[in-house]
């Protein structure tokens, strides 16, 4: 939900440019800035192509200013939502990638101030904000550790960040006069302080925040499902800002509400930087923004006792590589070819994953490795074949295929991030069936 508010800030800056300048001092004074440069260190990904911009959009779960409407303040703030917004160098398209807060990732060592640093660990991605914000680090420390975590796990260099909290989002929706949403069925979620009837209706700030936070009473109760609803709300909020002819007082109320709960990096430079970014987004054709959720699967497939977290699929590497190279992707995060304007994957001639049957054999000393990898392959969209042990221990992970099966083998290798040197042709197998043999190098192969 905070992502909607943050992107709407940019839209407001465009639509009310003259207004923003008229009240520049007031609005600029609302915005808090944080210098995170030194905390990020020198070991960072390469710069984006000239003109391209990567922005980390952070929604903290701070309850400040909500009067206890959404529960007690937590012991430490987390990033309730997290997104990377990539604007292309030619300003013709942008991709907004949602990173589920329950993503199980590597959290790097972060600066805690006073010469102290945290120990690197594996945890939920939303805990990075809490780690950096501990010991008095606040929004600056939280943002810095979140950015380091995003950079390490995506390979994208983050140029700017924007952070907003619960009250800021709610106040923005109220300043808009509400947001129109159509609900297929009634919603009652006590944990999100939400009770709404079915049908089309206008949500006020409290209701919109509750809708965006609702989790347990909707769908499968997962954060992944909630991300989809947040993206729907974002689209509705942007449409309201863009299509509704707001008068000057309404535009000012919206800008005032947005900037009061906003923290940005000091390099962005407050309101002037926001206005610059807004003009960049204004140049983008309508419909040029694509929403993507990083491809993922339940961590339960790897660790049966963990029913709360998700792991990013190997396909996420293609997504982030494309954005790092400033190339567009489709709504599923698959790279588009340079000459393709349609939302089809670049390798449109490849077999569909659902048509490829994958047998997995364990050529290692690790018990159950074939079963675990088979589940990952199924989560990536392939058909599950048999699992078992290889005839002997294998030093290298390979993919074996039969006559006419090279395309299927390449599709699997691409999905797993394996290079083509691991493909082995053998006789007997059907063209749509391949065998993945897990070798002793499975860890270095990313399996």
Instruction: Look at residues 243, 268, 323 and name the one whose alpha carbon lies nearest to residue 290.
Output: 323
**Crossing angle, helix 248-260 and helix 2-15, to 10 degrees?**
140
140, 88 in Cβ contact below 8 A? no
338 confidence band (pLDDT: 50, 70, 90): very low
- pLDDT tens for residues 408-423? 998 898 888 787 778 8
Instruction: Look at residues 19, 9, 10 and name the one whose alpha carbon lies nearest to residue 282.
Output: 10
Instruction: Look at residues 92, 87, 59, 285 and name the one whose alpha carbon lies nearest to residue 162.
Output: 59
158 confidence band (pLDDT: 50, 70, 90): very high
pLDDT at 217: 62
| ∠ CA 125-131-134, rounded to 5° | 150
Higher-pLDDT residue of 162 and 167 is: 162
39, 111 in Cβ contact below 8 A? yes
pLDDT greater than 70 at residue 34: yes
pLDDT at 227: 76
The residue-averaged pLDDT of 383-401 equals 89
pLDDT at 399: 93
pLDDT greater than 80 at residue 345: no
Instruction: Look at residues 408, 440, 445, 441 and name the one whose alpha carbon lies nearest to residue 425.
Output: 408
pLDDT at 4: 44
Task: Look at 14-18, 300-304, 433-437 and tell me which has the smallest mean pLDDT.
Answer: 14-18
The residue-averaged pLDDT of 381-404 equals 88
The residue-averaged pLDDT of 387-398 equals 89
- Which residues, in sequence order, are CB contacts of 359 under 8 Å at separation 6+? 385, 386, 387, 433, 434, 435, 436
Residue 359's DSSP bridge partners are: 435
Mean confidence (pLDDT) of the chain? 79
The H-or-E segment that residue 385 falls in is: strand 383-389
pLDDT greater than 60 at residue 166: yes
Task: Look at 4-13, 80-89, 110-119, 301-310 and tell me which has the smallest mean pLDDT.
Answer: 4-13
375 confidence band (pLDDT: 50, 70, 90): confident
- pLDDT tens for residues 249-282? 766 777 788 788 788 888 887 777 777 777 777 6
280, 53 in Cβ contact below 8 A? yes
pLDDT greater than 70 at residue 159: yes
- Residue ranges with strand state E in 25-120: 32-34, 53-60, 79-87, 94-98, 104-107, 111-113, 116-117
The residue-averaged pLDDT of 74-91 equals 75
> What's the token pair of residue 110?
């972060």
- pLDDT tens for residues 200-217? 889 998 888 888 877 766
pLDDT at 16: 52
Rounded distance, CA 261 to CA 263, Å?
A: 7
Phi-psi region of 106 (alpha: psi -120 to 50; beta: other; left: phi over 0): beta
pLDDT greater than 50 at residue 128: yes
What DSSP assignment string belongs to 412-440? HHHHHT--GGGEEE-SS--TTEEEEEE-T
The H-or-E segment that residue 124 falls in is: strand 121-124
- pLDDT tens for residues 43-80? 999 998 988 999 998 876 543 443 444 344 333 455 67
| ∠ CA 137-140-142, rounded to 5° | 70
pLDDT at 242: 58
Task: Look at 70-84, 218-232, 375-389 and tell me which has the smallest mean pLDDT.
Answer: 70-84
- Which residues, in sequence order, are CB contacts of 46 under 8 Å at separation 6+? 157, 324
- Is the pTM higher than 0.85? The answer reads no
Question: 368: exposed, middle or buried (C-beta count within 10 Å: 0-12, 13-18, 19+)?
Answer: exposed
Lookup result for tokens 């199924």? 378
pLDDT at 343: 35
pLDDT greater than 80 at residue 348: no
pLDDT at 146: 95
Rounded distance, CA 209 to CA 95, Å?
A: 23
pLDDT at 113: 81
């Amino acid at each position: 939900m905070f992502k909607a508010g943050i992107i709407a800030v940019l839209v407001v800056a465009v639509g009310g440019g003259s207004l923003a300048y008229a009240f520049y001092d007031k609005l600029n004074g609302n915005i808090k800035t944080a210098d995170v440069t030194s905390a990020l260190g020198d070991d960072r990904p390469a710069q984006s192509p000239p003109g391209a911009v990567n922005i980390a959009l952070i929604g903290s779960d701070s309850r400040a200013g909500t009067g206890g409407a959404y529960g007690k303040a937590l012991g430490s703030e987390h990033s309730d939502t997290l997104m990377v917004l990539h604007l292309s160098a030619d300003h013709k398209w942008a991709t907004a990638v949602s990173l589920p807060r329950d993503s199980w990732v590597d959290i790097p060592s972060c600066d805690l101030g006073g010469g102290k640093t945290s120990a690197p660990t594996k945890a939920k991605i939303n805990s990075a904000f809490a780690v950096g914000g501990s010991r008095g680090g606040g929004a600056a420390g939280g943002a810095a550790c979140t950015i380091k975590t995003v950079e390490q796990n995506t390979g994208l260099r983050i140029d700017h960040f924007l952070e907003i909290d619960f009250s800021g989002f709610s106040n923005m929706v109220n300043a808009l006069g509400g947001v129109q949403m159509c609900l297929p069925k009634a919603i009652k979620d006590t944990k999100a302080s939400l009770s709404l009837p079915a049908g089309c209706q206008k949500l006020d700030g409290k209701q919109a925040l509750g809708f965006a936070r609702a989790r347990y009473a909707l769908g499968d109760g997962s954060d992944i499902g909630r991300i989809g609803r947040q993206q729907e709300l974002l689209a509705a909020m942007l449409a309201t800002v863009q299509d509704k002819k707001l008068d000057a007082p309404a535009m000012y109320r919206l800008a005032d509400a947005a900037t009061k709960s906003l923290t940005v990096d000091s390099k962005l430079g407050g309101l002037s930087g926001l206005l610059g970014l807004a003009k960049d987004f204004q140049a983008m054709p309508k419909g040029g923004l694509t929403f993507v959720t990083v491809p993922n699967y339940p961590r339960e497939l790897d660790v049966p006792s963990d029913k709360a977290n998700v792991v990013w699929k190997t396909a996420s590497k293609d997504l982030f590589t494309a954005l790092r190279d400033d190339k567009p992707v489709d709504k599923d995060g698959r790279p588009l070819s340079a000459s393709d304007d349609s939302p089809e994957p670049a390798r449109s001639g490849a077999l569909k994953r659902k048509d490829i049957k994958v047998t997995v054999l364990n050529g290692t000393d690790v018990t159950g490795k074939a079963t675990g990898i088979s589940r990952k392959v199924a989560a990536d969209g392939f058909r599950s074949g048999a699992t078992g042990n290889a005839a002997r221990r294998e030093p290298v992970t390979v993919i074996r295929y039969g006559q006419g099966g090279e395309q299927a083998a390449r599709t699997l290798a691409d999905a797993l991030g394996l290079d083509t040197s691991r493909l082995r042709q053998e006789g007997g197998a059907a063209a749509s069936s391949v065998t993945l043999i897990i070798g002793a190098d499975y860890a270095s192969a990313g399996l």
